[in-house]
Chains A and B, each alone.
Chain A
């Protein structure tokens, strides 16, 4: 039995039955990480993981039955785990030690998870390929020459290469779904407010959500059950009831309506994802699932809106990294102004600086109304349009990415070209709805592609059950 091929649910079962110990499981996964070091998916294996696993074995013997009892988990490098380095993929923060547990970490630990490592990412979650990581790019698990995607590329690669069954990433505009698509696994961005952001280093607070990578849908649902739910440490977290995602996953979802936005049909024309997207529509139709042509008129404005709102919030959120308190200070600074200027100039990478400048620009007096306010207005418009669209259907589908994972270093130096990669993912963040990227089909180069399944806010259970239906159809066809 190769433990690393198993799902979290299976691992849990084997540990519980005594076939394997949590310690053995943890050691196997850590070996897997070390074997695949060259992919640069993981920045650090936590040295107390095995000790924690041993302690968990005793706990489980004593009857502990947590939802993640003994399951090894990898977290993105911007999620605080008390006592562990949390560098956000930045050399500015390379020695920063988390002073407290994030709510998601606390909830996972309470359910018996063993957090074994932290995963590579684009610096401060800004990027779509982890090429912006201060610690080098994470490679694609299928084709080493290609990117794993980003910003949560390390987490996606880790799951795809069996370094853990489930990993956490974070999303602001597609940072979970895009790498999930590039690596051929499931990646969920939950509804805004579904998961507490407490202890997750902020990029753009109104768009950020923790996301879940898994090889199976059931594992994804299991993890969401553990970490979702209101939190008194996060005002923006929602008290809306957490559904029994796992037990409802097999619910029949053939009686639902799938909305296909005509604007998306237009947008995919000529793109590498076009054929695959149409294949997907055909398959659901062939399986007698009702589809409906819908319209989200301004879906194309999502990208511009995103690249105003996200940098604006980021500029403010990242101002605290100033060389005074917890980021590394430039020793040549002679006064306060120089501490700020020199430390930040040296500490932040190019893309982060670009977005800070962009953000401060759109917030500055004289430009605030023209950019920030207008973007907020478009956000309001998009929320309305999606709401209307969901009056006509239960699920909206669209491709996750333009195409397959691209070659490392292949993107031109024009940042706008890179930003366009996010065109299908950003609106879910802007509108605050959940979206799951499911692995579906392959591109011309034989690499995985993904399809996004979106629903109304806090309706993740419908997403899971529809995705399960698709999974069954695909299996049948294979």
Chain B
């Protein structure tokens, strides 16, 4: 049978802030367990939460970057459940009035509807050693934003590929907006996925199965495909999918039941009486909006329409914010966006793909590109120089001088040498005129280079040569 697949995503991202969500402890990783804690984030009796206003701003920023409506009044609620990593036995979260509502994100040709982004606190960590368990509350109280897609509205995310595209774009936007670093391996971004299947065209939704806390996009992709296949098999056999929460075992590449509907938690949400309602004025929203950088979608339009980059090249440059930022800086210094883009793709990104860390100044990049364009240096020398100064504090210009790579010869002198060569090699010139073999041109250029001890610009020589003999 053919099925429609409906995929819902709940994505958690750790917010970038100075301090935790409800206390003044630093929001940073700390190796020594329980070294970054206070009465509030370990939930001591009598301690009270104080909302970090900047965390609210960051949440608003995330919402604005995704075109959300911002609620003028937001409320924090308690989500009550017992687990040792949850110091107060409840998590401060948001249910009825989250900060951001009704957003969307473009995936392929679809505008995927998003229900909400809300702000909440992270839990601590359990450390198991032998038959003992320890609790580290350093992560407790770190601000998290949770984004929930609206699977009740169309269009839906229907495939693992679309889900990954959604997550990739979301990650890019969060990083661009500066709300989260989204480092996947650090668990700064994690997703819950829920999946249901229904007979093709059916209006009624199938039974939803949730998969919790899957780390890494590859695992998410695998888990989704696995779950779709699992449900399809059950339905094809005439069975019924059970409503449950499953856990993905990435080592085995399969999932197992975590809890069924009967054991579902009742979180007994209610407004946290320790916290005031958050008032967000339209002026606040406008002010925060003005701090948003240009988002990748807008940048792409600019690259394609104004810079004449191909869509593909634009995507490559936009893939990592670090690269995009550097590219934009370089274009600012030397407005040749296409040339700069080519350099980025063929030289800089190639090196990063080869395992290098991005460590080169915009000044060096721009000097090298410009020097080649102005024929001050040969392209190959420029490439070598790029490698030479990469990861150092050296100046490409100084190095070019030191290594004698600068084409300090005047154009007239180069033409003079060229004329001399053409005279001496008149036979070769004749041969070229007959055979039109480009190798012959290269030979002639090589002669000029030899005469000038490599200090002439090969491009210039080639240009002048072509003028003379064609």
Give A residues with C-beta under 8 Å from B: 80, 86, 88, 93, 96, 98-100, 102, 197-202, 204-206, 232-236, 312-313, 315-316, 319-322, 324-326, 336, 340, 360, 363-365, 368, 372
Contacts and interface: CB of A to CB of B under 8 A. Distances in A.
B46 A322 contact: no
Contacts of B274: 202, 205, 235-236
Given A319-B80, A324-B84, A201 B45 contact: yes
Contacts of A235: 48-51, 274-276
A364 B269 CA distance: 8
Nearest to B49: A235
Interface stretch (B1-9, B85-93, B188-196): B85-93
Interface of B: 39, 42-51, 78, 80, 82, 84, 87-90, 135, 266, 268-270, 273-276
B82 A322 contact: yes
Contacts of B268: 315-316, 360, 363-365, 368
Nearest to A366: B266
Contacts, number: 93
A200 B266 CA distance: 28
Given A86-B45, A100-B44, 8 more contacts: A234-B48, A316-B78, A319-B82, A319-B89, A320-B45, A321-B45, A336-B84, A363-B270
Question: Which of B42, B44, B87, B268 has the most A CB atoms < 10 Å from its CB?
Answer: B268
A106 B266 CA distance: 39
A372 B270 contact: yes
Contacts of A364: 266, 268
A316 B276 contact: no
Question: Which of B82, B269, B276 has the most A CB atoms < 10 Å from its CB?
Answer: B82
B45 A313 contact: no
Contacts of A363: 80, 268-270
A195 to B, nearest CB: 13
Contacts of B270: 312-313, 316, 363, 368, 372
30 contacts: A80-B45, A86-B45, A98-B46, A100-B44, A198-B48, A199-B46, A200-B46, A202-B45, A204-B273, A206-B273, A235-B48, A235-B276, A236-B273, A236-B274, A236-B276, A319-B90, A320-B45, A320-B87, A320-B89, A321-B45, A322-B82, A324-B135, A325-B43, A325-B87, A363-B268, A363-B269, A364-B268, A365-B268, A368-B268, A372-B270
B211 to A, nearest CB: 23
Nearest to A324: B84
Contacts of B42: 325
Contacts of A321: 45
Nearest to A93: B45
A394 to B, nearest CB: 28
Given A316-B270, A322-B89, A340 B82 contact: yes
Interface majority SS (helix, strand, loop, mixed), chain B: loop
A452 to B, nearest CB: 24
B50 A232 contact: yes
A316 B39 CA distance: 18
B88 A99 contact: no
A200 B47 CA distance: 8
A100 B45 CA distance: 10
A239 to B, nearest CB: 12
B46 A202 contact: yes
A156 to B, nearest CB: 22
Nearest to B39: A100
Nearest to B88: A320
A321 B45 CA distance: 9
Contacts of A80: 45-46
A322 B82 CA distance: 8
Nearest to B137: A325
Nearest to B275: A235
Contacts of B49: 235
Contacts of A206: 273
A93 B44 CA distance: 12
A270 to B, nearest CB: 36
A447 B84 CA distance: 49
A324 B86 CA distance: 11
Given A206-B273, A319-B80, A197 B45 contact: no
Contacts of A93: 45
B232 to A, nearest CB: 31
Contacts of B275: 235-236
A94 B80 CA distance: 25
A339 to B, nearest CB: 9
Contact of B45 (A96, A232, A324): A96
A235 to B, nearest CB: 5
A235 B23 CA distance: 12
B48 A197 contact: yes
Question: Which of B48, B49, B90, B266 has the most A CB atoms < 10 Å from its CB?
Answer: B48
A376 to B, nearest CB: 8
Nearest to B50: A235
B207 to A, nearest CB: 19
Contacts of B88: 319-320
B39 to A, nearest CB: 6
A8 B311 CA distance: 81
B25 to A, nearest CB: 14
Nearest to A231: B48
A235 B51 CA distance: 8
Contacts of B43: 320, 325
A320 B269 CA distance: 16
Nearest to A361: B268
Contacts of A197: 46, 48
Nearest to B23: A233
Nearest to B45: A201
Contacts of B82: 319, 322, 340
A378 B306 CA distance: 61
A321 B46 CA distance: 12
Given A316-B78, A319-B90, A205 B44 contact: no
Contacts of B276: 235-236
B46 A201 contact: yes
B424 to A, nearest CB: 88
A236 B269 CA distance: 20
A365 B266 contact: yes
Please name the 8 residue pairs, one residue from A and one from B, whose CB atoms are nearest each other, closest first.
A319-B89, A206-B273, A363-B268, A205-B273, A199-B46, A201-B45, A320-B89, A80-B46
Contacts of B39: 99-100
A316 B273 CA distance: 11
Nearest to A79: B46
